A and B are shown apart, each in its own frame.
Chain A
Amino acid sequence: MSEIVEKQVERYENLLREMWTASAKYLGILSANLLVERVVWEVSMEYQEIELLQYDQNGISCARIAASLEENPDLPVEDMFMKFITRYVAILAKLLGHERTEEIRKRLKEEFATIPFASREE
C-alpha cells in the first residue's frame, strides 16, 4: 500500500472516530453502533470491503480495511468512505435534527479541512 493511501485511510479513520464519538454522545453507544451497522450494510452492496470496518463500544477501527488494501490497492477508498460518511450523516440528521448535525459537520470540517465533507445525500 502506498504511503499516500495509508495516510488517506488513517485520516478517514480519525474522521470516522470523531463522527462516532460525537454521535455516541447524543445517541448512546447502542444506537451509534446500530447506525454504523446499517450504513456498513448499505455501502457493502457497492464496496464489500466496508464490512472490514471494526466497531464496538470503544469506537471504530479501519485496521482491517488498511490491511486489505495491501492485496487490493486499486480499491477506490476515497469513494467508499465518502459514501459511508454521506449516508451516516444523512441518517444522523434524522435522529438529531439538521441543526445539531450541522454543528457536528462544521466541527469536523474544521478539523478535516481537506476532506470534501457532505452533510446531505445528493
Chain B
Amino acid sequence: MPTSLLLSISVKYWQDFQDTLAKVMDANIYIFDVNGGSFSLFSLPVELCQEVNKGRVLRDEKCISFYKSTLDSLEDKDMLTCPYGLKLCAYRLGTYAQKIGFLVVTPTRLTTLVGREEENTFATKAHSIYRTINEVLQAILEKNLLGLRRLELNSIYEISRLMTSIVELDKVLDLITNSLIIIYQAELCFVGLREGDKIRVAQAKGEHGHLLIGKEWPLVQPLIEQVFSKVEPSFLSLEELRTLPGLTGVEVAPETEILVYPLWTALGAVGLLGIVAPVSLDDNSSRNLQIYANFAAVALANATLIHRLEREAETDFLTGLLNKRALRNLLVTELERTTRYGTPLSVIFLDIDDFKAYNDTFGHVAGDVVLQKTAEIIKNSIRIVDTACRYGGEEFVIILPGTKGEGAARVAERIRKSIETYPFPHRQVTASLGVASAKKNDSVDSLFARADQACYQAKRQGKNRLCLNPS
C-alpha cells in the first residue's frame, strides 16, 4: 500500500475531528504527511503561529523548513522548540513498518513552557492526544486496507470463475489486464503468451500499452530467462525493463514498482504477467497478486488450449488448409452475405487427376507431397480474402467472395497451369476443376453440387481442364 494513504482521508472530516479533540484537550494540533508537508490546518488559534503564518495554514518559510528537517529525522517522539521559540511535542504516526505521517502538539496559551512540572503536564497531555490520533488513523487505515483486500479478493474470485465459465482467450486477457489496472492503479500491465521459443505480448493496457501488443521476446533473452528461472516474481529496475524490445523508451514515475510474474502451470510456462504500479506492495498484496497470477496462469492455459483445439479442429493437418467442417461453416456465412448484400460469390472444386494411381505407384509419402504442393500452389494463386480448403482425399475447394464466374474461371485456370507445370517428383501431375457461382436461394449443398458437377464434366472431357457451370 502507498505510504501516503493518509491523504486519502477527507481533510474536511479529519479537520472537524481534529478541531474537536484540540478543543477538548485544550492544545493545538498539527498533522503532517509522511514527507513533512502540511495535511490539516492548525486546530486552535495560537497567536504566534497565526501571526507568523498569516492564518491557519503553514506558510512561513522558516516554519516549513523547520518541520521538514525536524520530522525527517524524527525517530519516534521528541520535545522541540520551533524557530520562533514555541515549545512542542512531535510524534511519528503509524508503525515502524508503515509510516502514516507526523503529529505536532503545542500549548494554546503558553507558548513557552516554564518549569519542569508544567512541561511534564503538557507532555502527558500531548501523549494522550498522540495515542488517540494514532489509534483513529490506524482504524481508518485498516478500513482502507480492507476495502483494497475486498477488491483484490473479488478479482481473484472472478478470475477463478473464468476457469470454468469463459474460454475465449481475448476475454480472459482483457479481464486480467483490466483488473490489475483497476486494483493497483497500474501504469502499465501486459500479458505475454508463450509461443514455442518466444513470448508474444498478447494484451497490454495503460500508458503506451498499445505499442507493446504483438512484440516478441525470445525465451533466451537474458531478462526473460531470468524471469522464468524461478517461480516468484522478478522485481525489475527501469533499466532492466528497457532491455525488452518495445519497452526501450518507456518512462515510469519515480518509486514505481515493476514486477514480472512467470505464469506456470503443471504443463509448464504459459507466459508472463507484467505490472508497472506506482505503489509498493505490502506482504498481503504481494501474496494476493501471486494468487491472482496463479489463477491467471491456469485460466490462460485453459483458454489457450481451447483456442488451439478449436483451430486444430478446423485445420487439415497435412496441408494446413481449412478442413471440410470449417469450409461448410464459412460457406454458410458467405452465402448469407451474398443474399443480404447481393455481392457475387464463386466456388472452385479441384480434383487431382489419377491421384489413386500416383499413390499406388509411388507410395503414400509421395502422394502426401503432391497434396502439400498442390495446397501451396492454391494458396499462392488466391487473394487474402479467398479461402482454400481440403475437402477430402485429393479434392480441394476454393471460396472466392465478391467474384463472378468469369473471374473465378481465370483463377481456376491459373491454378491448373501452375499444377501442370510444377516439377512434381516421379511424373507430371494435373488437376480438373469445376467453377460455380452462387444463385439466389442457393444452399451450401446446391452450390457444392454444381461445382462438383462442373468438375466431373471436366474429368469426362479428358481431365487437366476446367469447366464453368453454365447456370
Measured CB to CB, the residues of A under 8 A from B are 27-28, 30-31, 34-35, 37-38, 41-42, 44-47, 91, 94-95, 97
Contacts and interface: CB of A to CB of B under 8 A. Distances in A.
Chain B interface bracket (under 10, 10 to 19, 20 to 34, 35 or more): 20 to 34
A62 to B, nearest CB: 20
Interface in B1-22: 8-10, 12-13
B174 to A, nearest CB: 6
Interface of B: 8-10, 12-13, 140, 144, 147-148, 150-151, 154-155, 158, 171, 174-175, 178-179, 181-183, 185-187, 205-207, 209-210
Contacts of A31: 174-175, 178-179, 182
A45 B8 contact: yes
Contacts of A38: 151, 182-183
Contacts of A44: 147
B10 A35 contact: no
The 6 closest A-B pairs by CB, nearest first: A46-B10, A31-B178, A41-B147, A45-B8, A38-B182, A34-B182
Nearest to B208: A97
B3 to A, nearest CB: 16
A8 to B, nearest CB: 20
A30 B182 contact: no
B151 A37 contact: yes
Contacts of A97: 209-210
A88 to B, nearest CB: 10
Contacts of A46: 9-10, 12-13
Nearest to B179: A34
Most buried by A among B144, B150, B178, B187: B178
A91 B182 contact: yes
A97 B182 CA distance: 14
A31 B181 CA distance: 10
A94 B207 contact: yes
Contacts of B206: 94-95
A63 B417 CA distance: 73
19 contacts: A31-B174, A31-B178, A31-B179, A34-B151, A34-B179, A34-B182, A35-B178, A37-B150, A38-B183, A41-B148, A41-B150, A45-B8, A45-B140, A46-B13, A47-B10, A91-B182, A94-B181, A94-B185, A95-B205
